[in-house]
Amino acid sequence: MKIAVCIKQVPDTANVKLDPETHTLKREGVESIVNPFDLFALEAALRIKEAAGGEIVAVTMGPPQAETVIKDAIGFGVDEGLLLSDRAFAGADTWATTAVLAKAIEGLGDVDLVICGKQAVDGDTAQVGPGIAQRLGLPHVAFVKGFREIENKRLVVERQMDDGYDVVELPLPALITVVREVGEPRPPSLKGKMRAKKYTVPMQGAADLGLDASQVGLAGSFTQVVKVFAPSHSGERRRLEGSDEQMGAQVIDALVDNQVIMLGS
């Protein structure tokens, strides 16, 4: 089975700070990491490969320094990587991003399964996975939490829902996005890391993919970010006074009055 895994380089949001004046992310000095949800996508791909054999290619779109996430993926044990990088890709929204990723996956040839993390922690849109499926005309299942059957031409997966999960059968080729429950990512391996050190990451730009500048980046985007801001606090604020017990009782009363909680009889 040939598997393509889409990964993204993101700032390590666990350690990111906001500029108090502009309300934008302070990126200087913040380490870049593989989007944490994409690590679950890599883990899912590695498990499927262990079960069914095959080959895994990790694909990312980003600036040249995004090659480090491809090297990280090689360290985890994927077979090949591909970096999609071009000045023309800058400013892409999710739609323009899927144009690039879909073309690149098409170019890999005979991909049986595309796996994405459910969303990226910097944009949080969860649109890129399904967008790629749309572009490639593939069936897709989002929020996959587990696999029931893995065969060459079909998968049976469990899709996480708010109130349980669905069991979905889908023919391959297909695309899935995965959630945390799919399995804890393994540590990188020594052999993988040694291979990653020597690995030259193949790079493709718009021309290599046969894409026109108008289809990618800001030009190919339907949306653009006009302003980033921290929402101002709204709603009523009340200051409680008294002993701990009294304040505790007032909190309970307020929660009950506003029907946030209900007290049992």
Three-class secondary structure of residue 91 per DSSP: coil
Residues numbered 141 to 200 that lie near other proteins (CB under 8 A) are 186-194, 197
Q: Residue 193 or 213: which CB sits closer to other proteins?
A: 193
How many C-beta atoms surround the C-beta of residue 78 within 10 A?
Answer: 24
Three-class secondary structure of residue 101 per DSSP: helix
Question: What distance in Å separates the CA atoms of residue 200 and residue 81, rounded to the nearest whole number?
Answer: 9
- Contact between 85 and 130 under an 8 Å Cβ cutoff? The reply is no
Q: Residue 91 or 188: which CB sits closer to other proteins?
A: 188
Strand partners, 159: 144, 166
Amino acid at 247: M
| Interface with other proteins, residue 262, by CB under 8 A | no
In whole angstroms, the minimum distance from the beta carbon of 158 to other proteins comes to: 22
Three-class secondary structure of residue 223 per DSSP: coil
In whole angstroms, the minimum distance from the beta carbon of 5 to other proteins comes to: 17
Angle at 85 between CA 83 and CA 86, to 5 degrees: 160
In whole angstroms, the minimum distance from the beta carbon of 184 to other proteins comes to: 9
Alpha-carbon Rg for the chain, nearest whole angstrom, is 22
In whole angstroms, the minimum distance from the beta carbon of 146 to other proteins comes to: 18
Q: Residue 187 or 231: which CB sits closer to other proteins?
A: 187
Site string for other proteins, 197-226 (x = CB under 8 A): x-----------------------------
In whole angstroms, the minimum distance from the beta carbon of 53 to other proteins comes to: 17
Q: Residue 63 or 188: which CB sits closer to other proteins?
A: 188
Of 263, 213, 262, 257, nearest to 238 by C-alpha is 257
Q: Residue 146 or 188: which CB sits closer to other proteins?
A: 188
Interface positions with other proteins (CB under 8 A): 186-194, 197
